[in-house]
Structure 1
Amino acid sequence: MLFEDLPLSQPIQEGIAAIGHTNPTPIQEKVIPEVLRRNDVIACAQTGTGKTGAFAIPLLNLLNKKIGDSTDFKDPSVLIVSPTRELAVQIDQNIQAYAKFTNVKSGVVFGGASMQPQINLLKSGLNILVATPGRLLDLRKQGYINLELISVLVLDEADLMLDMGFIDEVQKIIRLSPNLEQRLMFSATIPPKVQDLAKTLLQNPEKIELTTNSSAAPSIAQKLYMVPKPDKTELLLYVMRNVVKDKSVLIFRRTKFGVEKALQSLLKNGFKAEELHGDKSQTDRTTALSHFKNKEVNILVATDLAARGLDIDALDFVINFDIPNMPEVYVHRIGRTGRAGSVGNSISFCSADEKNYIRFIETLIGEKIPVEENNPYPLEKNAEPVVHKKKGSKHKKGRKGSGSKANKKRWYK
């Protein structure tokens, strides 16, 4: 199918063509007609499959028909809620690209940045608002956003939204938006908590599941390095010098502390790298992502929450420094590479205490991850996890000194 085959107005078609897209992705092919029919939709597809275009293109088409040549912008009628700042900004950038030849105006608001410019943006008038939950409710409380005027609500990356603890905020947004005519929900997975939210929000939705979200993209070459945990940093430096070289790589670590530690090791060894995690300011996060996308640095070290949903073109490698304890997270991580039909690579470092995680991942994806034999820091085949025993007190349990007993204050007599 071509975009020309879809019932989209000329300005929208021109915007799509200007980006260089001619064929809708499978999720776009299925979702766009349903949104144009004004149906509620719940769509499940892996990251990198074009979900943003699936809702942005038809909503822009509907708005363009409604407003035509008018430039009288007031309160937004379309609200898109996104879990992270970076994803919200990306969605708005995509919308603006698709809307290039229309009068539809969009804007984005998010936490971690000055509120005044966002207030000024809202006062200037918008058709589409992209927002993170916390900042949206803050601005609504101050009277700058009227959710009663929202007719279309989109929840993007719904599973991540709930994983990040936004369930109360999302439910409040739904309660404060009583005049919804259309509701769209997009998620990489549909666990029970997302199903429960869908029942609350959606009305007779069209359910669209592109593929089973438990499989890894066939265009991704996966490799597994079995390595003692203390040697992981040295292995990372070896892989960077001999395998990745000057290619672009996204390195995942489980914690913010781990991100900092890996970044310092890379910088000390002459690599150009940036970091991305929740404790970084919005300015620092935007700068880091910009440097990476502009190829000023070729390495980005990140936590899962910071990197989820990032749209990074032509990413060559994903490295799992720490193996995730949830197998679905592995699929999300390596899905950052090998996007839009390009070939990608994933490398995972597995220590003895992470072997079970790998077994769960292989069960989920239905295939064995090939073990790399050319490994300078191999793990012994029968290596067992290192158990750190806590040293007990030298005193017997419950034993107290006479001074402690004498000075103890009692509430009873």
Structure 2
Amino acid sequence: LCNTCCVSFITGRGGTKIKELEDSSGSRIKVTRGTYESEVKIFGSIDVQNKAKMLIDNLVTSSGQNCVRGKTLDIINPENNPKKPVINWASLRENRAKYESMKWAGLPPIEKNFYKESSRTASMSQEEVELWRKENNNITCDDLKEGEKRCIPNPVCNFEDAFEHYPDIMANIRKVGFQKPTPIQSQAWPIILQGIDLIGIAQTGTGKTLAYLMPGFIHLTSQPISKDERGGPGMLVLAPTRELALQVETECSKYAYKEIKSICIYGGGDRKGQIDVVTKGVDIVIATPGRLNDLQMNNFINLKSITYLANEADRMLDMGFEPQIMKILIDVRPDRQTVMTSATWPDSVRRLAKSYLKNPMIVYVGTLDLAAVNTVQQKVIVIPEAEKRAYMRTFIKSMKPKDKVIIFVGKKLTADDLASDFGIQGIPVQSLHGNREQCDREQALDDFKKGKVRILVATDLASRGLDVHDITHVFNFDFPRNIEEYVHRVGRTGRAGRTGEAVTLVTGNDWRFASELIDILQRASQV
């Protein structure tokens, strides 16, 4: 026991002294303060306790205070010192497979292979296949399975070759009026319909969404058990932004197949409404990772029923969603089929793909590392920071009546500032960034799509999921934070077979990107 007024000599400021005493002696020391007297308990072996007691006695003596009285310090016998439980990690690792099998026991089997190769596709010679791939944006394919490689399926050159056995899908395609599949669709469909995991790399606006949605519809409706018996959704699409998630849902609704129900779950939306729809039962969930993680952790959604997973990987990593994705995948059965799409293929995306796809095939449309945009004329203007606004005003004045432009900026404040400037000049404009309410963002996109405004000022948030086919120009007022982002921005124009123009302002602060930018321009033969 000791006077309470002397406890500070033993504990020190913020407990630093007691930590020193514990480190020096190897003991654990607990101080219980009272009104007049405090109790000091020392835990550990007898030798360790005696050493700690001696150190405390010396500390108190050197302070010149008569702190310790009566029974000096409580010595706790080792046998009375409760030990912390020790986790047997070796045992857990050894039994991991057993625990995993217990977790997934009782789930219904999955059917994955629904591909019936048409005679026309099967009759293509190797030379014809290679020529077709070269003429269709230089498609390259690879099997990432270790060991013996599988045969890469021939591409399907028209819709009938892929879906002739699915009349409902063919009817939807004819209704929309598509003439033929895009290159990524032609090569992806035979792979996915065989039940093989796929990584699809292609520039934005090339039909990647339908590349996984169409086979997903077939997968969902062809399982051994009916969707009513499944006990939850069968297909999950992960997207980094609400704009992209909403775009995927629009595509889903447009090609609705056999009364499949879908829902879009995203932060900023009506959480209670989303929970109500999910708990009543849906077939496809399109979600941003944050909100899905929220519903998952609160047991509002059953992910064990998911058998088909698609991930729009663009921006997932640089928006910091990897931890949420990993939490989501804990509850998705490991024998699922997985499709991952991206416009770029940097090391970070490769690492993510390796962690949750099993023996995938990969299809690249265009270049290997960055899908350089060949349908866009790219102009780079080197300019002082102070002259950027004047140049932009000149550019806007030179636009034709039917031109439509996105002006990309680096900060939300800049977006509001430029939009305000245009408003003062009487020029109709909308802005799109993360600080705007969801209803305002949707209104801004709707006005831009319908042509009510022909200028949209946006942050990079809008460079995902902005599905507007008639954008004629992209104007990079601020240079993006990395070269992948540049590719995504520029890909907002020149979509769906059209050509476009991108103007990028480069200041002295942006020189670190010069070599990568030159590389992109060289690949597009624009240097």
TM bucket by the smaller chain?
Answer: 0.7 to 0.9
1:43 aligns to 2:187 (yes or no): no
Q: What are the superposed Cα offsets for residues 75-101 of structure 1, whole Å, 9 maximum, x if unpaired?
A: 2011111110011011011011112x5
How far residue 179 of structure 1 moved from its aligned partner, in angstroms, is 4.6
How far residue 185 of structure 1 moved from its aligned partner, in angstroms, is 1.1
Task: Report the counterpart of residue 81 of structure 1 in structure 2.
Answer: 238
Query: 1:356 & 1:370 partners in 2: Cα distance?
Result: 20
Task: Report the counterpart of residue 283 of structure 1 in structure 2.
Answer: 439
Letter in 2 for 1:44: I
> Residue 72 and residue 281 in structure 1: after superposition, are their counterparts in 2 closer, same or farther (change >3 A)?
farther
Query: 1:200 & 1:325 partners in 2: Cα distance?
Result: 26
- Is the 2:343–2:371 Cα contact (8 Å) retained in structure 1? no
Partner-residue secondary structure (3-state), 1:27 = helix
Query: 2:178 & 2:523 partners in 1: Cα distance?
Result: 33
1:210 aligns to 2:370 (yes or no): no
1:60 aligns to 2:211 (yes or no): no
Query: 2:395 & 2:432 partners in 1: Cα distance?
Result: 21
Query: 2:254 & 2:523 partners in 1: Cα distance?
Result: 39
> Residue 172 and residue 71 in structure 1: after superposition, are their counterparts in 2 closer, same or farther (change >3 A)?
closer
1:10 aligns to 2:171 (yes or no): no
Task: Report the counterpart of residue 194 of structure 1 in structure 2.
Answer: 349
Query: 2:438 & 2:270 partners in 1: Cα distance?
Result: 10
> Residue 370 and residue 224 in structure 1: after superposition, are their counterparts in 2 closer, same or farther (change >3 A)?
farther
- Is the 1:150–1:180 Cα contact (8 Å) retained in structure 2? no
Aligned ranges 1:257-406 → 2 under 5 Å: 257-366=413-522
Task: Report the counterpart of residue 131 of structure 2 in structure 1.
Answer: none
How far residue 345 of structure 1 moved from its aligned partner, in angstroms, is 1.0
How far residue 368 of structure 1 moved from its aligned partner, in angstroms, is 9.1
Partner-residue secondary structure (3-state), 1:341 = coil
How far residue 105 of structure 1 moved from its aligned partner, in angstroms, is 1.7
Task: Report the counterpart of residue 20 of structure 1 in structure 2.
Answer: 177
Query: 1:248 & 1:289 partners in 2: Cα distance?
Result: 13
Letter in 2 for 1:23: K
How far residue 70 of structure 1 moved from its aligned partner, in angstroms, is 7.6
Q: What are the superposed Cα offsets for residues 128-161 of structure 1, whole Å, 9 maximum, x if unpaired?
A: 11111111111122222111111111111x1411
Q: What are the superposed Cα offsets for residues 247-290 of structure 1, whole Å, 9 maximum, x if unpaired?
A: 21001011112212211111111111111111222111111111
Percent of residue pairs identical = 36
- Is the 2:372–2:520 Cα contact (8 Å) retained in structure 1? no
Task: Report the counterpart of residue 12 of structure 2 in structure 1.
Answer: none
Aligned ranges 1:84-95 → 2 under 5 Å: 84-95=241-252
Partner-residue secondary structure (3-state), 1:186 = strand
Which of the numbers 280, 296, 318 marks the counterpart of 1:163?
318
How far residue 324 of structure 1 moved from its aligned partner, in angstroms, is 2.4
How far residue 245 of structure 1 moved from its aligned partner, in angstroms, is 4.9
Which of the numbers 19, 25, 29 marks the counterpart of 2:186?
29
- Is the 1:71–1:103 Cα contact (8 Å) retained in structure 2? no
TM (norm. structure 1) is 0.84
> Residue 364 and residue 220 in structure 1: after superposition, are their counterparts in 2 closer, same or farther (change >3 A)?
closer
Aligned ranges 1:162-181 → 2 under 5 Å: 162-181=317-336
Letter in 2 for 1:85: R
Matched residues, number: 369
Task: Report the counterpart of residue 184 of structure 1 in structure 2.
Answer: 339
Q: What are the superposed Cα offsets for residues 71-128 of structure 1, whole Å, 9 maximum, x if unpaired?
A: 78952011111110011011011011112x5222211111101112112211332111
- Is the 1:78–1:151 Cα contact (8 Å) retained in structure 2? yes
Letter in 2 for 1:91: V
Query: 2:226 & 2:303 partners in 1: Cα distance?
Result: 25
Query: 2:492 & 2:190 partners in 1: Cα distance?
Result: 27
> Residue 200 and residue 323 in structure 1: after superposition, are their counterparts in 2 closer, same or farther (change >3 A)?
same
How far residue 195 of structure 1 moved from its aligned partner, in angstroms, is 1.5
> Residue 341 and residue 333 in structure 1: after superposition, are their counterparts in 2 closer, same or farther (change >3 A)?
same
Higher RCO (CA 8 Å, separation ≥ 6 residues): 1
Partner-residue secondary structure (3-state), 1:287 = helix
Task: Report the counterpart of residue 118 of structure 1 in structure 2.
Answer: 274
Task: Report the counterpart of residue 387 of structure 2 in structure 1.
Answer: 231
> Residue 65 and residue 150 in structure 1: after superposition, are their counterparts in 2 closer, same or farther (change >3 A)?
closer
Partner-residue secondary structure (3-state), 1:360 = helix
Letter in 2 for 1:22: Q
Partner-residue secondary structure (3-state), 1:300 = strand
Structure 2 runs not aligned, ≥5 long: 1-156
Partner-residue secondary structure (3-state), 2:237 = strand
> Residue 149 and residue 110 in structure 1: after superposition, are their counterparts in 2 closer, same or farther (change >3 A)?
same
The Cα RMSD (Å) is 2.3
- Is the 2:406–2:455 Cα contact (8 Å) retained in structure 1? yes
- Is the 1:233–1:265 Cα contact (8 Å) retained in structure 2? no
Q: What are the superposed Cα offsets for residues 344-364 of structure 1, whole Å, 9 maximum, x if unpaired?
A: 111122233334534430123
Letter in 1 for 2:479: I
Partner-residue secondary structure (3-state), 1:225 = strand
Letter in 1 for 2:235: V
- Is the 2:377–2:501 Cα contact (8 Å) retained in structure 1? yes
Moved more, 83-92 or 5-14: 5-14
- Is the 1:215–1:366 Cα contact (8 Å) retained in structure 2? no
> Residue 240 and residue 120 in structure 1: after superposition, are their counterparts in 2 closer, same or farther (change >3 A)?
same
Query: 1:120 & 1:240 partners in 2: Cα distance?
Result: 46
Partner-residue secondary structure (3-state), 2:189 = helix
Q: What are the superposed Cα offsets for residues 283-315 of structure 1, whole Å, 9 maximum, x if unpaired?
A: 111111111111111111111123223111111
Letter in 2 for 1:248: K
Query: 2:340 & 2:526 partners in 1: Cα distance?
Result: 36
> Residue 368 and residue 10 in structure 1: after superposition, are their counterparts in 2 closer, same or farther (change >3 A)?
closer
1:140 aligns to 2:278 (yes or no): no
> Residue 114 and residue 88 in structure 1: after superposition, are their counterparts in 2 closer, same or farther (change >3 A)?
same
- Is the 2:238–2:286 Cα contact (8 Å) retained in structure 1? yes
How far residue 65 of structure 1 moved from its aligned partner, in angstroms, is 3.5
- Is the 1:328–1:361 Cα contact (8 Å) retained in structure 2? no
Query: 1:369 & 1:181 partners in 2: Cα distance?
Result: 41
Moved more, 176-185 or 165-174: 176-185
Structure 1 runs not aligned, ≥5 long: 372-413
